[in-house]
Amino acid sequence: EPEVTQTPSHQVTQMGQEVILRCVPISNHLYFYWYRQILGQKVEFLVSFYNNEISEKSEIFDDQFSVERPDGSNFTLKIRSTKLEDSAMYFCASREAGGLRPTDTQYFGPGTRLTVL
């Protein structure tokens, strides 16, 4: 069964460093998402991406964050200058298409745990 994959599973970085989190969505999916979950808290929406541009972003997604689909398979989240409070689990998700069909469920990757020291 196709699945969303994310690399690395765990990333440790120093405060102020740039990190890139990578995701490979399911191949025929068109909508892509990043979510964040600070330890012990709820999952929060960061950004959605469709047709090579951001569709929507939350207030969390400030200028430190950017997303890109550099080729036909990868979907990346970049944090330019990490802060301690960026430490969290980051989930990528993808969805096939719009509308009300059963295929419109978002499928989540296993997550990347980012630790900022």
Partner 1 sequence: AQKVTQAQTEISVVEKEDVTLDCVYETRDTTYYLFWYKQPPSGELVFLIRRNSFDEQNEISGRYSWNFQKSTSSFNFTITASQVVDSAVYFCALSTPYNNNDMRFGAGTRLTVKP
Give the nearer residue to partner 1 in terms of CB position, either 19 or 111. 111
Residue among 27, 28, 13, 20 at smallest CA distance from 90: 20
Closest contact distance (angstroms) between CB of 89 and partner 1 is 6
Closest contact distance (angstroms) between CB of 42 and partner 1 is 5
Closest contact distance (angstroms) between CB of 43 and partner 1 is 4
Residue 96 to residues 67, 83, 84, 100, 104: CA-CA distances in angstroms? 19, 33, 34, 11, 6
Binding site for partner 1 (CB under 8 A): 31, 33, 35, 41-45, 48, 50, 55-56, 58, 89, 91, 93, 95, 98-100, 102, 104-108, 110-111, 113
Give the nearer residue to partner 1 in terms of CB position, either 17 or 105. 105
Give the nearer residue to partner 1 in terms of CB position, either 14 or 53. 53
Closest contact distance (angstroms) between CB of 107 and partner 1 is 7
Residue 6 to residues 22, 59, 73, 74, 101: CA-CA distances in angstroms? 6, 24, 12, 10, 26
Tokens of 31: 């909508």
Task: Check residue 87 and report its DSSP letter.
Answer: -
Give the nearer residue to partner 1 in terms of CB position, either 61 or 79. 61
Q: Is 84 helix (H, G, I), strand (E, B) or coil?
A: helix
